[in-house]
Amino acid sequence: MRESQPYYPIVSDIVDVTGGKIAKYFKCINCLYINFNEFDVILANHNLTVYPVWVVTLLRMNFSKNYYYVQAYETDFYPTNALRRLLASLTYKLPFKKVVNADIFLNYKLC
């Protein structure tokens, strides 16, 4: 049976990221940049969320908060799109601390 309250209480605001893809990225970057000092960690959970986090940490010159939750080898999500495959594969090379949901992804296809 699920409780109505989360086990770990969460305090957060909902950020409106409506608009086109580029507008969403800039809204995410702006929100992360403005609130950067409020965060203990910044967790990217998909290859497309890595890039806004990367931009903000470059602007802030603080890489200690970067985490990437690797749930799959995301390059394989794009079998026919060479650009998306490249962008996904590059995320594994960025200086993020990796958190994986299975041991296989610690070094899977990353060599």
Instruction: Give the pLDDT band of residue 54 (cuts 50, 70, 90).
Output: very high
95, part of any domain:
yes
85, part of any domain:
yes
Residue 79 belongs to what domain range? Answer: 21-106
Q: Identify the CA nearest to 50 among candidates 35, 31, 28, 34.
A: 28
Locate tokens 């996904």: which residue?
Answer: 88
28, part of any domain:
yes
7, part of any domain:
no
Separation between Cα atoms, residue 92 and residue 110, nearest integer Å: 7
2, part of any domain:
no
Integer-rounded Cα Rg, in Å, for the chain is 16
What length does the chain have? 111
Task: Look up the pTM and report it.
Answer: 0.74
pLDDT (average), residues 92-101 = 89
Structural domains counted in the chain = 1
CA angle 34, 62, 95 (to 5 degrees): 120
Please indicate whether residue 21 or residue 12 has the higher confidence score (pLDDT).
21
4, part of any domain:
no
